[in-house]
Amino acid sequence: MLTPKPICDSLSDLEILRRALEALDFFSCLYERYEQRFLRYIRRVSGATAEEAPDILQDAFIKIWKNLNGFDQSLKLSSWMYRIVHNEAVSFLRRKKSFGKDQKVPYDEQLYQRMPDEVQDAAEEPELRDQRTQHLVNRLPQPYKEVLILKYWENLSYEEISDVLKIPEGTVATRINRAKKAFIQASEKTPAP
């Protein structure tokens, strides 16, 4: 039996974690809370299709469940889970590229129809508005693409990005700065569609 939504909504992530360690049903609260956010992130960072993203997410949540006992509760749970989801998405991307499958995935124009105007709108807008912006972000090197997506679409702080990518906060700041410059250069070289 799954835990009712009102109970899940009244609990913090750490309270859910503690209860999930005692009763499996509470783990569904974490899944429900983060499913859509993580699916969007997987699609953005890995280019996975709508059919592939749930499989990646499922693998990530299996790893999250297996490692719940090892979670350091002094850390932020969402950053720790993002790290696992990030690793699964990057592994998928590497597998896809290693087999040359990345060349066969069609550009999904519907996915890139809407882009958030501001960082605060990112969580509320499941689809992207500006096709050209997403196309330009996808052309950036993976380290730049990752930090831009985590910062501007996922609205994570430098500290959280540091936790997800396992790099120092100073490196996060440097990558974001370089990524912005690379994005501007790419936008100047790429004509508007």
Work out the angle between the directed axes of helices 169-189 and 158-165 (0-180°, nearest 10).
90
- Alpha-carbon span 22 to 62, nearest angstrom: 17
- Alpha-carbon span 28 to 35, nearest angstrom: 10
Element holding 71 (H helix, E strand) = none
Which letter, b or e, does each residue of 125-164 get, where b requires 16 or more Cβ atoms within 10 Å of its Cβ?
eeebeebebbbbbeebeeebbbbbbbbbbbbbebebbbbb
- The model's pLDDT over 106-116, given as tens digits with 9 standing for 90+, comes to 444 444 344 34
The structure's pTM equals: 0.70
Mean pLDDT, the chain, as a whole number? 80
- Alpha-carbon span 179 to 131, nearest angstrom: 18
- Alpha-carbon span 94 to 63, nearest angstrom: 18
Provide, rounded to the nearest whole percent, the portion of the chain with pLDDT above 90: 40
**Superfamily of segment(s) 36-189:** PhyR, sigma-like (SL) domain (1.20.140.160)
| Annotated domain spans of the chain | 36-189
- The model's pLDDT over 58-88, given as tens digits with 9 standing for 90+, comes to 999 999 999 998 888 888 999 999 999 999 9
